[in-house]
Structure 1
Amino acid sequence: MDTMRDRFIATTTRLLDEDPQLALVLAEISRDGFDRAERTHPHRVVNVGIREQLLIGAGAGMALTGLRPIVHTFASFLVERPFEQVKLDFGHQGVGGVLVSAGASYDWPAGGFTHMAPGDVALLDTLDGWTVHVPGHPDEAEALLRGAAAGDDRVYVRLSLQSNDRARPVGGTGGFTTVREGTGGVVIAVGPMLDNVLAATEGLDATVLYATTVRPFDGDGLRRAVGDRPAADVVIVEPYLAGTSTAAANDALTALPHRILGLGVARAELRRYGQMDEHLTAHGLDPLGLRQRIGGFLGH
């Protein structure tokens, strides 16, 4: 199976051929994959070098001319390093574009903490008007990317090497999908966390919701899953900073007594970089770690 990043390159290359209003801005990362696209569309495929602030500025400038820019590099260099440009050049100027990241929270541990971005979604959460997609499979990444490229709004697509075994349908509304029904608590699995959550909750009387779009947050979907329970226990499992979506879930359940547990990447920096699976285990995001914490919270 190809990776989400492989699929992004193949899909964007096709979209550039199909849509003359689409542009691509790179900062060296993935440039080799777009070699043909750069030669075919030299005025719409631009590599700015290792200049991430310019990367965002150039993308927003293209948007001001009427193009639909797709802007790509590692998450830490796409959101964190040029955050001021994301805030001003896209948000303050009121233009749209598609930011597509690679690297996720710790896809390449050997790159060190500079190449890790567990706080990217939380950081974007401080800005208004961003749609955030977190696919859990290359097929989902392609569908979400195609939808984003066809729009005119501000979209962040967060790609990862971690992937679920199979794709789930990606609806146009961006709502949560019910994967498993139960009468106890509700567990929301975001993107590539789904397989581990399903393994961790096997045999538990809990509803499992799947989210590939986390902003806007599907409060209606959460309320439907809670149903007519007199109180709600909700667990949110995200592949980035723990607790990123707890406030959104709290807002959705203001009329109902509830408890919320946010699971994800801890704030503590792990300096023994190891491998991606070791980071999952260290943060308790492997099936065993999730089983212990979800089961404990739900009273199992």
Structure 2
Amino acid sequence: MDTMRERFGPVVSRLLDEDPRVAVVLAEIGTAGFEEARRRHPDRVINVGIREQLLIGAGAGLALTGLRPVVHTFAGFLVERPFEQVKLDLGHQGVGAVLVSAAASFDWPAGGYTHMAPGDVALLDTLDGWTVHVPGHPDEAETLLRHAVAAGDDKVYVRLSVQSNAGAVPVDGARFRTVREGRAGVVVAVGPMLDAVLAATEGLDVTVLYATTVRPFDAAAVRRATGAAGADVVLVEPYLAGTSTAAVNDALADVPHRVLGLGVGRRELRRYGTVEEHVAAHGLDAAALRERIAGFLAGRRVSAHA
């Protein structure tokens, strides 16, 4: 199976052929995937070099001319380093772009902490009007990329990862999907966390919701799953733990409920290791998730951080 990022280049190259509004802006990273597209569309495939602030500024400039820019690099270089440009060049000027990241929270541990971005979605949460897609499979990534490019002039973030579920789920770019039903609580699995959540909750009487579009947050799906009496809700997110707990609290503000946000902890892991070791260290493998989810549903106090 290809990865989400391997799917990205061919999909967006086809979109360049199909839609004259689409442009691609790169900062050295990912250029090899667009060599053919650049020959066909030299005016709409732009490499600004290792200049991430310019990457966003150039995308915003293209948007001001009426184009639909797709802007790509590692998450830390796309959201964190040029955050002022994301806030001002896009948000303040009222123009949109499709920001497509790679490396997720810790997809390339050997790159060190400079190439890790567990706080990207939380950082975008400080800005208004962003749609955030977190696919869990390359097929879902393709669908959500097409949704993002077709979304008028909206501001959209698509978070790609080498972590993937074994199979794709039909996604529509908006709603959470119910993949298992139960009565003792609700677990929201985001993107590539679905397989681990399904394994962790096997035999537990819980509803599992699958989220690939996390902003706007599908509050209606959470309310339906919890019912009028409220319920316990566990969020399992592949980025900073607790990123969406406020969204759940807002959705259930008028009913009794408890929320546990599981995800990547704030503590920096300085022995970079492998992706699998990072997953285990943050308590996001199936065995650790089962212990934490079951303990929370049983009423025991459970830490959000591994």
Please report the TM-score for the alignment, with normalisation by the length of structure 2. Answer: 0.96
1:125-147 per-residue CA deviation (whole Å, 9 max, x = no partner) reads 00000000000000000000001
CA–CA distance in structure 2, aligned partners of residues 118 and 240 of structure 1: 4
CA–CA distance in structure 1, aligned partners of residues 171 and 256 of structure 2: 31
Match of 1:30 in 2: 30
**Which stretches in structure 1 are left out of the alignment for 5+ residues?**
none
Match of 1:268 in 2: 267
Match of 2:304 in 1: none
Match of 2:18 in 1: 18
Q: Which amino acid aligns with 1:131?
A: T
CA–CA distance in structure 2, aligned partners of residues 66 and 45 of structure 1: 15
1:168-207 paired onto structure 2 within 5 Å: 168-172=169-173, 174-207=174-207
Per-residue deviation, 1:38: 1.2
Per-residue deviation, 1:150: 1.1
CA–CA distance in structure 2, aligned partners of residues 180 and 124 of structure 1: 30
Match of 2:49 in 1: 49
1:90-146 per-residue CA deviation (whole Å, 9 max, x = no partner) reads 000000110000000000000000000000000000000000000000000000000
Please report the TM-score for the alignment, with normalisation by the length of structure 1. Answer: 0.98
CA–CA distance in structure 2, aligned partners of residues 148 and 273 of structure 1: 33
Per-residue deviation, 1:40: 1.2
Q: Which amino acid aligns with 1:90?
A: L
**Secondary structure of 1:288 counterpart:** helix
Match of 1:213 in 2: 213
Q: Which amino acid aligns with 1:297?
A: F
CA–CA distance in structure 2, aligned partners of residues 190 and 201 of structure 1: 15
1:164-189 per-residue CA deviation (whole Å, 9 max, x = no partner) reads 000001125x1110000001100000
Per-residue deviation, 1:196: 0.2
* Superposition RMSD in Å: 0.8
Match of 2:155 in 1: 154
1:1-21 per-residue CA deviation (whole Å, 9 max, x = no partner) reads 010001111100111011111
1:92-241 paired onto structure 2 within 5 Å: 92-151=92-151, 152-172=153-173, 174-228=174-228, 230-241=229-240
- The count of aligned residue pairs is 298
Q: Which amino acid aligns with 1:157?
A: V
Match of 2:81 in 1: 81
Q: Which amino acid aligns with 2:147?
A: G
Identical-pair percentage? 76
CA–CA distance in structure 2, aligned partners of residues 171 and 227 of structure 1: 24
Per-residue deviation, 1:49: 0.5
Per-residue deviation, 1:231: 3.2
Moved over 4 A (4+): none
**Secondary structure of 2:237 counterpart:** strand
Asked if 1 retains the 8 angstrom alpha-carbon contact of 2:241 and 2:265, the reply is: yes
CA–CA distance in structure 2, aligned partners of residues 221 and 182 of structure 1: 14
Match of 2:58 in 1: 58
